[in-house]
Structure formats: structure tokens, C-alpha cells
Amino acid sequence: MVPKTTKWWYQTNQKCVVRLQVVTDPDVHLLPMSSTNKIHSNAGRDVIRFANEQESCWRISEEDHNLLLDEATNRAQYDFEIDIDQPSGNSDVNDEEEPHPDDLDVVDISDDDNSNDGIESSDED
């Protein structure tokens, strides 16, 4: 996202993996920056210069922006899971799906528990 803007995005060379469960709208309409589609001057000269320096810079359409905001609000209000009953078959194969790494409990690894920065202590005093 272009800093200090709400609907402007730019492309980077950074690769990422997107979980399809969180995709809200795979067909977002982006309008390329042009002389008729510019970042508002209220964003400031530094922001406009930054956007112009990018290889490509786009603004999300007002319609898609509103759709994404509405969907984000709905997901925040109705954050629940639906259990779908699977018909029981005569299969001996375990059909359990492996949990996604993002869904696993986070284990806090801390040096504060029983560590003295690698120095062993003894009770022989």
C-alpha cells in the first residue's frame, strides 16, 4: 500500500502465499495511475514522489473498496466456523485434514523460564 493513502497500491518483487480461505474478492478492479487518475495532493509531495518512483501503482475502484470493507466488517462480526456433517462411509481411511500451520497453537519459546544465558548454576555453596 502506498503510505498515507487508503486505496493506492504498488507492486513489489516480494513473493507471498495467500490462503484461499481468506480471499474476499479475487477480481478486484485496479485503475493504473495516470494524468487523470492521480494521488490527491493532500497526500503530500513525498508520497506522490514515492508513487511516481514505483514501477507500477494502482488505485482500487470505489466499488471494490466498499465491498472489501463490508466483507471485513461482516467477518469480524460473524467470526465462526460451520461444521458440515460428512456422510459416514465404510472407509477405513482417516479422512481428517491436516491443520494448516497458521491454525496451530503458537508455542512461546522463551529464554526467561529456566535459563541463565547458558551458565549452569550449582547448589554447592
What tens-digit pLDDT sequence spans the chain (125 residues)?
A: 898 888 998 888 888 887 877 788 888 889 999 989 999 888 999 999 999 899 889 999 999 999 888 888 887 766 666 667 766 555 555 566 676 666 666 555 555 555 454 455 445 54
pTM: 0.49
Q: What is the tally of structural domains in the chain? A: 1
d(CA 78, CA 81): 9
Cα separations in angstroms, 6 against 9, 40, 55, 65: 9, 11, 19, 9
Residue 85 is assigned to a structural domain of this protein: no
What is the per-residue pLDDT for 124? Answer: 52
Residue 34 is assigned to a structural domain of this protein: yes
Residue 99 is assigned to a structural domain of this protein: no
Domain limits for position 30: 8-77
Cα separations in angstroms, 17 against 8, 22, 55, 80, 105: 21, 11, 22, 23, 20
Residue 102 is assigned to a structural domain of this protein: no
